[in-house]
Amino acid sequence: MGKMRFVIIGCGRISTLHVVGYKNNPDAELWGVCDIKRANAETFAKAFAVPKVYDCFEAVLADETVVGVELIIPHHLHCEYTVRLCEAKKHVSVQKPMAMNLEECDKMIQAAKDNGVKLKIYENFVHYPPYQWAKKMLEEGEIGSPQGIRLKMTNAPLLSKNMPAAFQKKLPDQVPKDLPPTGWEIDPKSWLWRFNVTLSGGGPTVFDDGYHKFSIATYFMGAIEKVSAWIDQTPVAPGVYNDVPGTIMWKYKDKKLYGIWDIVNAEEMYINSKYYTCDERVEITGSRGIIWVTRCTATLMEDVAPVVMYRDGKRHEFWDMKHDWADSFEACTKDFIEAIKNDREPLLSGEAGKEVLKFALAAIDSSKQKKEIYLSQYEDKEIPKKRSLIASLLFGEK
């Protein structure tokens, strides 16, 4: 029997990191790609030596040789495409956030069950080796019993190639003039839909990227009982806003244990990165010591180990793990392949992914309603009627 055949649908910037898990994989091959713009798919296929380019989504559905599909498409399409793929008896890995609301999650989960296929939520942070290293240390009692967790996120747009030139601010006088551009280039047209709530389901930071942070918060310490949040807005362009700064706090279920995620936008900060110019750090405090994960997407402190532990008056640095952001994508894709091969649940199953989405939605509701939200009492939101970005700006979210 040959290798299992997989297809990527959606050939945007992030899809280039989905390729690494198939390289020299004995069990699977990236057989094909599909994109709403065929030229994008052809360029991608040529760059990564992918054998087949599909004309349309229906052609992928009809190909009985395809075992699994990775969906890397706008959020409002996740549910429909996942259900149709499940009905075509194909295993599905769908990019985070899982869906627009919990009702869509239920439809996706049920479709996978009814058709005997795997449903994986593609959330790479829980596969990032330094996070996994820290979790193992925590479980082995290296810092005693957990006392709390803090996530720190800093968006640093200065000289970032992620940002369109029109949005770049003048270099401050005190900043060295020889700093090189940082980050990878993003086609501005590819991210505009993220600012349209009817297509994205929420803001680009707390709802979209935040799914990573909500995932690792539960990955480290378990289920969430309640959440309180303060989420502000920062203009990106006339009438377009990013959902930062913000502070989100939560209590873990059945534990006297709390967490906090602090989000800021530092317009005059420069951060070295091969990817997005976003710094993420995690601090886990135990009864005996502290564990820090010092990086993820970007590299703020290159000379500091990816994982640092303080215990008994001494600091210990751990370098013996992969720590490039791309390593988390490789592991995430391999988890999907191995879940199919070994008939097991992926690390972030549909059911687990739904709980993460509920956490995110409850945080957003907490900020809007100015009160704490118990996840057990969260009322699912309706999906807003689809509108263009211009219509959303003119008439609001509803």
Secondary element (H or E) of residue 329: helix 325-341
Could you report how far apart the first and last alpha carbons of the chain are, in Å? 52
pLDDT at residue number 166 = 58
pLDDT band at 389 (very low <50, low <70, confident <90, very high): very low
- 394 pLDDT more than 90: no
Q: How far apart are CA 239 and CA 279, in angstroms?
A: 26
pLDDT at residue number 156 = 92
Dig out the tokens for 210 from the structure.
């935040």
Quick one: DSSP state of residue 159?
A: T
Cα-based torsion angle of the residue sequence 109, 110, 111, 117 in order, rounded to the nearest 10 degrees: 70
**Mean pLDDT score of the chain:** 93
Helices (H) and strands (E) in the chain, counts: 11, 17
Q: What is the DSSP string of 200-238?
A: HSS-IIIIIIHHHHHHHHHHHH--EEEEEEEE--EEEET
Q: What are phi and psi of 316, to 5 degrees?
A: -125, 130
Q: What is the DSSP string of 251-312?
A: EETTSS-EEEEEEEE-TT---B-SS-SEEEEEEEEESSEEEEE--SSSBS-TTS-SEEEEET
- 203 pLDDT more than 80: yes
pLDDT at residue number 395 = 35
Q: How far apart are CA 283 and CA 220, in angstroms?
A: 11
Looking at residue 10, its amino acid is: G
pLDDT at residue number 169 = 67
Secondary structure (H, E, C), 16-61: HHCCHHHCCCCCEEEEEEECCCHHHHHHHHHHHCCCEECCCHHHHH
Lowest-pLDDT range of 44-48, 162-166, 192-196, 328-332: 162-166
pLDDT at residue number 35 = 95
Cβ–Cβ under 8 Å, residues 175 and 268: yes
Q: How far apart are CA 121 and CA 332, in angstroms?
A: 10
Lowest-pLDDT range of 26-30, 78-82, 182-186, 375-379: 182-186
pTM equals 0.93
Q: How far apart are CA 242 and CA 236, in angstroms?
A: 6
Q: How far apart are CA 93 and CA 22, in angstroms?
A: 14
Q: How far apart are CA 14 and CA 135, in angstroms?
A: 26
Interval 365-377 mean pLDDT:
97
* β-pair partners for 293: 282, 307
Dig out the tokens for 137 from the structure.
């240390």
Q: How far apart are CA 271 and CA 115, in angstroms?
A: 46
Cβ–Cβ under 8 Å, residues 189 and 347: no
Q: Please, what sign has the CA dihedral across residues 309, 352, 323, 190?
A: negative
The per-residue pLDDT for range 150-171, each reduced to its tens digit, is 999 999 989 999 876 656 667 7
Q: Which of 101, 123, 303, 286 is nearest to 218 (CA)?
A: 123
